[in-house]
Structure 1
Amino acid sequence: MALHKENPIDGSTIWPVPTCGPVLILGEGYMNIRSVSVDILALLTCLSGSWSCGGNVDSSSERPRAIGAAQIETTRDATDADPVVHCSSPSAARYSDWSTPVNLGPIVNSTANEQNAQLLKDGLAIYFSSKRDGGVSDQDIYVTRRASVDSPWKPPVKLGPPVNTESADFAPNVSIDGHLLFWASNRPGGHGNADLYMSRRDDPNDDHGWGEPVNLGPKVNTGDFEQAPNYHQNAEEGGGNLYFNRGNPTLNLADLYYVAVSRDGVAHGDAVQVPGLNTTGANEQAASLRHDGKEVFFFSNRPGGEGDLDIWTSTRRNAHDAWSAPVNLGPRINTPVLDVTPNLSFDGLTMILGSNRPGGIGGNDLYVTMRSKHVNDSDDEDCAGDL
């Protein structure tokens, strides 16, 4: 009986290694090796020939399995809860709990604020905003790169003009194909306090090849604050939706919105509120969707959290159904202080967040958390809440 199986997503070979989890590489000096125990059910699932189960190492290039320079295992230890089952069907896909967030270290983080980070699809670049030494404004957009998923991150580099200005430029989001950049800025010539902008580049690996910024216009931008864009690309429909938050967060008026945006970065129609995710008298900000549109993460100060601002999540059956009631990610991810700007990787297994929790470098730091996916052979992609 073969213990390996072909990945139905891209044809790559996946080998079950029940005692080893996905590999995460962190900044120098931030090693955290966790002990591992094997779930008997997961092991039997592996041996029965399923293509992915607890501890499988996915060799697919679609999976940015490493995030920085010492290894960390994200399979469950003896104190972890069972993997979350997101629907009652026996064919349900299952995820492990998120691992304890780990600081990305002093190469990526500084004594200033870092947040709004995005791990690009290939796992070789992180775009984020920061007010570190050398910044020309309140905030600038930076990128850090590495040679491979097993290499350390290089020192972050400012994008420079025309993306960064003497005004605040922050909350970057790059499209899956790497050709579009969306971000927020309060530069002159906008419609309000902070507007959303878009830029294009021909070479998806040229971080200094971004073209002249384009304001997304009055159907998206208003006299209020528009921030934290997240472009959810839809291959079937040839375009996508841009998610963002609108409203003044200091007045608890920030809500999540979305608008249809083409592959050329052109907004079509008016932006509307995201049904089911917003609450009255609280902020909902920085929505990040999984690539299939069935799961979303955002941060909020709504009641029921662990602290001031927490990360919440919601799921749905498909991209056209209603969102479930949002659920707090709990004390492993959230703290009594600020836990903000979650951003999910393309494969849905890595999330980068900002936090000013104790033990950081200074201000808001970037942290990373991971989870693993367990799927049996009859995985039902239409199961309610299936992730």
Structure 2
Amino acid sequence: MALHKENPIDGSTIWPIPTGGPVLILGEGYMSIRSVSVDILALLTCLGGSWSCGGNVDSSSESPRAIGAAHIETTRDGTDVDPVVHCSSPSAARYSDWSTPVNLGPIVNSEFNEQNAQLLKDGLAIYFSSKRDGGVSDQDIYVTRRASVDSPWKPPVKLGPPVNTESADFAPNVSIDGHLLFWASNRPGGHGNADLYMSRRDDPNDDHGWGEPVNLGPKVNTGDFEQAPNYHQNAEEGGGNLYFNRGNPTLNLADLYYVAVSRDGVAHGDAVQVPGLNTTGANEQAASLRHDGKEVFFFSNRPGGWGDLDIWTSTRRNTHDVWSAPVNLGPRINTPVLDVTPNLSFDGLTMILGSNRPGGVGGNDLYVTTRSKHVNDSDDEDCAGDL
């Protein structure tokens, strides 16, 4: 089966498939397909990049149809169009689609805003921020616990001082070993609108054992706001990168950044923008990475969304690659209103997000969505089989 040039303008090549199958046009950064079939969509999950597809598909559904990591989009009015098939990388094919988000209920949620939630590694605690005390403080950090993964969540408890103050303290993130806490605060003594802070504790199960907060310093914090830290460690005993967003409070725009942070919570070097995830004139916030560093979720108001703020995802083949073009999670996860602050569990199978969609308890509520990992998958192998 020989490859030959088809398009002299962009240098794409055409790959004819035997026995009357579809025609694949392979070009730099994209792939075009005609006569899309399930077999070809299965093949696409084994290839990186994103693809466009010419021809008509069944457009009876308003939401994208998904096979593995490949998604076919149609117009919202159901008309026949040239659909777009998205697949950010082979690693996305490891998992099923996300389930419909479920409200965590009136024990965890309140009539006020709850968001920036993190399910800790053991699955038995959720740290989050809320203004549920009715205005005594701007925002505070709370924790809710449960006895087992099948048990109900207990009423949330405020962390108290020195983590919480009369100022806004929000967007908590706990290291995978439970000894470090990162969060945002506009308490006095910072460098700008809101800064990132760190605290340590000896007992990973003592929610009131956090030590004196430490400002991460001027190489991380600026005169703008820094929020939504997410500490991605290489291993429990090692350091890693702290992801966060930095933005202008007047323009209400933010970009995603990261900085190297040691195991003891000390930042090293200057914070830099995350390549491939930011869009000029848009708001990107609250990055949450899978434990292997190959998948990220964040929220944004970039074009192509379903509402005011949507949750997007991107993947990469290894941690040294640039992130793929972000893909919207679609209308099962996103709504016409606010869908924000996604946070992925350590095993990558559960995500907690904030949303003010109809049917909630009040304000922004916390919702949970889950997915499963495909059978016979491994972290070292994205795809198997012969082409």
TM norm structure 2: 0.75
Q: 1:386 to 1:33 in 2, by over 3 A?
A: closer
Deviation at 1:251, TM superposition (A): 1.3
Moved more, 6-15 or 337-346: 6-15
Deviation at 1:30, TM superposition (A): 42
Deviation at 1:361, TM superposition (A): 0.3
**Per the alignment, in what secondary structure is the counterpart of residue 231 of structure 1?**
strand
Deviation at 1:31, TM superposition (A): 42
User: Structure 1: where are the runs of 5+ without partners?
Assistant: none
In structure 1, the residue matched to 2:62 is: 62
Q: Which of 1 and 2 has greater Rg?
A: 2
Larger RCO, structure (CA 8 Å, separation 6 or more): 1
> Which whole-Å deviations, capped at 9, do the CAs of 1:172-207 have from their partners, x for residues lacking one?
000000000000000000000000000000000000
Q: 1:53 to 1:66 in 2, by over 3 A?
A: closer
Deviation at 1:238, TM superposition (A): 2.3
Runs of 4+ displaced beyond 6 Å? 1-92, 384-387
8 Å contact kept, 1:14–1:51: no
Deviation at 1:133, TM superposition (A): 2.2
8 Å contact kept, 2:278–2:284: yes
Q: 1:275 to 1:112 in 2, by over 3 A?
A: same
Q: 1:384 to 1:131 in 2, by over 3 A?
A: farther
In structure 2, the residue matched to 1:21 is: 21
| C-alpha distance in 2 between matches for 1:27 and 1:366 | 42
| C-alpha distance in 1 between matches for 2:290 and 2:13 | 23
**Per the alignment, in what secondary structure is the counterpart of residue 41 of structure 1?**
helix
**Per the alignment, in what secondary structure is the counterpart of residue 279 of structure 1?**
coil
Q: 1:351 to 1:52 in 2, by over 3 A?
A: farther
8 Å contact kept, 2:171–2:183: yes
Deviation at 1:134, TM superposition (A): 5.7
In structure 1, the residue matched to 2:248 is: 248
| C-alpha distance in 2 between matches for 1:5 and 1:151 | 60
Moved more, 208-217 or 231-240: 231-240
1:51-200 alignment to 2 at 5 Å? 94-133=94-133, 136-200=136-200
Q: 1:229 to 1:132 in 2, by over 3 A?
A: same
Moved more, 367-376 or 169-178: 367-376
In structure 1, the residue matched to 2:45 is: 45
| C-alpha distance in 1 between matches for 2:163 and 2:209 | 10
> Which whole-Å deviations, capped at 9, do the CAs of 1:66-100 have from their partners, x for residues lacking one?
99999999999999999999989999952111000
Identity %: 96
Moved more, 233-242 or 112-121: 233-242
Q: 1:174 to 1:60 in 2, by over 3 A?
A: farther
Q: 1:255 to 1:352 in 2, by over 3 A?
A: same
8 Å contact kept, 2:49–2:324: no
**Per the alignment, in what secondary structure is the counterpart of residue 46 of structure 2?**
helix
8 Å contact kept, 1:22–1:65: no
Deviation at 1:20, TM superposition (A): 39
**Per the alignment, in what secondary structure is the counterpart of residue 319 of structure 1?**
coil
Q: 1:223 to 1:94 in 2, by over 3 A?
A: same
> Which whole-Å deviations, capped at 9, do the CAs of 1:142-182 have from their partners, x for residues lacking one?
00001111111000000000000000000000000000000
8 Å contact kept, 1:19–1:38: no
8 Å contact kept, 1:114–1:363: yes
Q: 1:184 to 1:89 in 2, by over 3 A?
A: closer
Q: 1:386 to 1:218 in 2, by over 3 A?
A: farther
| C-alpha distance in 2 between matches for 1:192 and 1:29 | 40
Q: 1:86 to 1:69 in 2, by over 3 A?
A: closer
Q: 1:32 to 1:349 in 2, by over 3 A?
A: farther
8 Å contact kept, 2:284–2:300: yes
| C-alpha distance in 2 between matches for 1:23 and 1:360 | 47
Q: 1:384 to 1:258 in 2, by over 3 A?
A: farther
| C-alpha distance in 1 between matches for 2:23 and 2:153 | 15
Deviation at 1:376, TM superposition (A): 2.2
Q: 1:99 to 1:164 in 2, by over 3 A?
A: same
TM norm structure 1: 0.75
Moved more, 205-214 or 374-383: 374-383
The total of aligned residue pairs comes to 387
